[in-house]
Chains A and B, each alone.
Chain A
């Protein structure tokens, strides 16, 4: 695990880490596949052995997609007993999916997130909200994790991971704590009126000057974002079970407000800090799983 940064000025910085399930043992290791999800903000990689997760890693996407793919692939291979040559098939996904040099195929992140959510939470998952660095997607899928419909809200930073980072920096609250902090008030304030991140800066400064606490400003903004996301889920057609993937799955301020607005419980996010599956890796895991299917098909089995 990488050391968290000591620089307290970078409130947007989130933890980059890698994990290997070395406690599991594989007798055969027949099909080893990898999924590389080069997102607009984060790059993720997962290695699966016979459709079971073996290792995963998360890092920040740089200005060059191929370099980010190589970096996260090196991270995930480190501390495993594998090399690049052991991997039979690699699927690239995410914003930079066509720029993954080691990929045999590129698949959209929508298909990968659905497949990954199906793996993490099981076949009861029907609706997935994926909040990435630069877009928000509501996905509907069947019991096998196959996409049946989806809606996307792109081209606007409000509520996306990047938008939340800007807010964390503005309010000087670490990105990994904004969920908890946004829930620290006894009374929920009205959502802010404008959701544009560029304007939110002006609005937030105005509210702080009016005497609002940072917690209250954050709660009002998070509330507005949750309303936006709940609307997207309703439009795609909410069917249980609902899960949240992508970086914002770790923002409990968002997740719990969506639950309140929609009147449903999401399936709990696994305890990724304690070593359980990280919902931010759903896309990479789905990619590796789809890679396995493609590899097996190509072998004629």
Chain B
């Protein structure tokens, strides 16, 4: 039996997955904060406790995510795109495109039936196509971030919004509030604007169905609905989409550990 751990050092949260022979035995998550390494240590210990696994039993620990080099106990790293492809196809075997929308970055990965990454596109350095955008707009609308999705589903149309930048989007939202546009319609406009950016990224890569959506933003029903409309096809979302990066790292660790033991 091979026990491995994957650590995803995201900008906002750290995710840890523990695998025993490719079966998930524990997941744990915590905020990265200003000391991501320390935060990750806590989440790591929490995950092992939940899995009832002692540290000596772990064959290999691999890390991924933008802070992968800061991961504790890590024996190596896996690229974010590689992790997305591997875990995306593992969870949804028909997926050939994995779209990952996180707090500060979005990417689309094209992959084959084995979960090997073929090509990818990344949107970084701009907050308008990532989770931060929803957070900022929720603040401007004075609703909780989790309420944005359900709220947007009540809208019959989207408000006219030029929300291509978080900084400008905030003032757009404020002026829409002053014009007494309804909150559901503004919320829908926020998701539509994001979905616009993400779908153009997917189109650059070439749509290769099925499309799986993963990452923290994949839990947002409002964003899923908007992306579905923009792409004009079904979007498959696995259970626990925010753990896909960590799972990909852990799966890669299992392959490497087995390869080494042969």
Residues of A within 8 A of B (CB): 63, 134, 155-157, 162-163, 166, 193-199, 202, 206, 209
Contacts and interface: CB of A to CB of B under 8 A. Distances in A.
Contact of B164 (A63, A155, A198): A155
A166 B104 CA distance: 19
Contacts of B125: 193-196, 199
A156 B175 contact: no
Interface in B155-175: 162, 164-168, 174-175
B175 A157 contact: no
B52 interface: no
Given A155-B165, A157-B168, 19 more contacts: A63-B175, A63-B178, A134-B168, A155-B128, A155-B164, A155-B168, A157-B166, A157-B167, A163-B167, A166-B167, A193-B125, A194-B125, A196-B125, A196-B166, A198-B167, A199-B104, A199-B125, A199-B127, A199-B132
A63 B173 CA distance: 11
B235 to A, nearest CB: 25
B136 interface: yes
Interface residues of B, number: 20
27 contacts: A63-B174, A63-B178, A155-B162, A155-B164, A156-B126, A157-B167, A162-B167, A163-B167, A166-B167, A193-B125, A194-B124, A194-B125, A195-B125, A196-B125, A196-B126, A196-B127, A197-B165, A197-B166, A197-B167, A198-B132, A198-B133, A198-B136, A199-B125, A199-B127, A202-B104, A206-B34, A209-B34
Interface of B: 11, 34, 104, 124-128, 132-133, 136, 162, 164-168, 174-175, 178
Q: Which of B11, B104, B133, B136 has the most CB of A within 10 A?
A: B104
Contacts of B128: 155
Contacts of A157: 165-168
Contacts of A198: 127, 132-133, 136, 166-167
Nearest to A154: B164
Contacts of A155: 128, 162, 164-165, 168
Q: Which of B126, B128, B132, B165 has the most CB of A within 10 A?
A: B165
A206 B168 CA distance: 24
Contacts of B127: 196, 198-199
Contacts of A196: 125-127, 166
A6 B208 CA distance: 59
Contacts of B124: 194
Contacts of B11: 202
B123 to A, nearest CB: 11
A189 B162 CA distance: 34
A249 B132 CA distance: 31
Contacts of A202: 11, 104
Nearest to B135: A198
Contacts of B34: 206, 209
Nearest to B133: A198
Contacts of A163: 167
A162 B168 contact: yes
A76 to B, nearest CB: 25
A206 to B, nearest CB: 8
Nearest to B175: A63
B218 to A, nearest CB: 21
Contacts of A134: 168
Contact of A156 (B104, B133, B165, B178): B165
B152 to A, nearest CB: 21
B138 to A, nearest CB: 14
Nearest to B126: A196
Contacts of A209: 34
Q: Which of A63, A157, A197 has the most CB of B within 10 A?
A: A157
Nearest to A209: B34
A157 B169 CA distance: 10
A198 B11 CA distance: 13
B180 to A, nearest CB: 12
Nearest to A134: B168
Nearest to A197: B167
A203 to B, nearest CB: 10
